[in-house]
Structure 1
Amino acid sequence: MLKLLFLLLSAGKLGKVLLTGGSMLVSVIAYAFVFGWRYAAGFVGLIFVHEMGHYLAARQRGLEVSAPTFIPFVGAWIELKDQPHDVETEAWVGFAGPLLGSLAALGCYFAARETGSQLLLALAYAGFFLNLFNLIPLSPFDGGRITAVLTPRVWLVGVPVLVAMFFWRPSPMLILIAVMAAPQVMKAWKYDPKDPANQQYYGVSTETRLTYGLYYLGLLTFLAIMAHDTHDMLGAIH
């Protein structure tokens, strides 16, 4: 055990493990005060799976990336120490999070149907909605990273979606996201496809654009249907 601890310390990995595990624990405790510890643990677990999707995709593409860090009632993120060199890599890393997160939510859904657990059904709904929310086509959402493979101008479509979300469910978090998104909106507004730097980064084949466009629309449709259905199922229970 001591030898293993020494190896972790020497590799600089123990601090990363403690940061991820510690921030996850703090998030579980914070959510538990509002929702109870069972739901809190499941919800944080769903976020973890989502972030690990990004982590694994980044590592697959050879990018140096940090382990997930959690902040209660904000979410979690991974830090890309190496930035993608092209938009296709950015889209792949962005897509992997909602994809793996959706599979985790689907697992909760099937388990809920099998056991009749309201808790698992509530977690399934939370997972579907969380990943659907992240597909808003506006950076820094995952949807913005995916749709950038089409053109950054797609981000302008995400602005009214974010505004509609705020009027539907006003939240300080949405205001923070809007502030973070503002520079990206300006980037999309000023985007020049003829700029050599843009051509180098965003220059992909029509097949790649079509492929990611279908991936995006397919996952978006699936999550919208599942979020709607699980919401109705929960409403019928109560």
Structure 2
Amino acid sequence: MIKLLFLLFSGAKFAKLLTSGGTMIISIFFYAWIFGWWYAVGFVLLMFVHEMGHFIAARQRGLDVGLPTFIPFLGAWVELKDLPHDAETEAYIGLGGPLAGTVASLLCYFLARNFDSDLLMAVSYSGFFLNLFNMIPLSPFDGGRITAVLTPRIWFVGVPVLLALFFYRPSPMLIIIGFMAWPQLWRAWKYDPEAEENKIYYNMSAQVRFTYAAYYLILLAFLAVMTNDVHEMVQVARQAKGI
């Protein structure tokens, strides 16, 4: 009986791993169709590292969480089977993804400089941009989950950012994100700091709020600088090759 349970448990774990790995491979295939195989592999690996940052952060807080699932051109996510019990835990998990993704992008950047690789530099740029994009202070972005430690109403700051991105470069993905954000904005509009459930969920010291605000601003500034600088390096490399 114990052996049978072990085999069933192992099979469930294998199925989860197969789902995560399978969606990852499918994403690589679709990105490779447009951008080429090696770029696709690098880009999806950076997304994987980003999501594993969330995964590890959730596990550190004792939450049950699933392996990453990928959808081409929409990104990836990890399923939180246990919901965070307070806004600080949610912010901690939200910060884990951009932090891990930034470290991976920075490593890719240094490898690109060391080996004079335009491909790695382009992958690095994509990583920095992806993580910067995720720092928009609007749920369901990671930035929204981090900044919610201040107040959910801060999500309205992210609305003009999302609109500006859409008008600058219209994309169906931004429309989908807008629909996903709408219920969260409605929740923020109705937010009552005096409600008992909100007092429990958002009850934390000013020091905790200040700490996460500092983490957010420092990481945001670093990603903005690196995204801009690496983009210029990629453009120079493209011009040198006449692309």
Cα deviation 1:132-190 (Å, max 9, x = unaligned): 00000000000000000011010010111110010111000000000000011111112
Match of 1:27 in 2: 27
The TM-score, its normalising length taken from structure 1, stands at 0.96
Match of 2:236 in 1: 236
CA distance in 2, matches of 1:67, 1:89: 19
Match of 2:140 in 1: 140
Match of 1:113 in 2: 113
Are the aligned partners of 1:27 and 1:70 in contact in 2 as well (CA < 8 Å)?
A: yes
Shift of 1:8: 7.5
> Is 1:83 matched up with 2:83?
yes
Are the aligned partners of 1:8 and 1:14 in contact in 2 as well (CA < 8 Å)?
A: no
Match of 1:67 in 2: 67
3-state secondary structure, aligned to 2:76? strand
CA distance in 2, matches of 1:150, 1:130: 24
Aligned Cα root-mean-square deviation (Å): 1.3
CA distance in 2, matches of 1:143, 1:102: 14
3-state secondary structure, aligned to 2:70? strand
Match of 2:101 in 1: 101
The count of corresponding residues between Structure 1 and Structure 2 is 234
Q: Structure 1 stretches of 5 or more lacking a match?
A: none
Quick one: percent identity of the two aligned structures?
63
One-letter code of the match for 1:157? V
Match of 2:55 in 1: 55
Shift of 1:7: 4.6
Runs of 4+ in structure 1 over 6 Å off? none
CA distance in 2, matches of 1:36, 1:8: 39
Match of 2:227 in 1: 227
CA distance in 1, matches of 2:8, 2:135: 36
Cα deviation 1:88-141 (Å, max 9, x = unaligned): 000000000000000000001000110110000001100000000000000000
3-state secondary structure, aligned to 2:51? helix
CA distance in 1, matches of 2:159, 2:130: 18
Match of 1:193 in 2: 193
Are the aligned partners of 1:122 and 1:234 in contact in 2 as well (CA < 8 Å)?
A: yes
The TM-score, its normalising length taken from structure 2, stands at 0.94
Match of 2:183 in 1: 183
One-letter code of the match for 2:145? R
Are the aligned partners of 1:91 and 1:147 in contact in 2 as well (CA < 8 Å)?
A: yes
Match of 1:37 in 2: 37
> Could you say if the C-alpha distance between residues 108 and 33 of structure 1 is closer, same or farther in structure 2, counting changes exceeding 3 Å?
same
Cα deviation 1:204-232 (Å, max 9, x = unaligned): 10000000000000000000000000001
3-state secondary structure, aligned to 1:181? helix
One-letter code of the match for 1:129? F
CA distance in 2, matches of 1:137, 1:83: 20
Shift of 1:10: 3.4
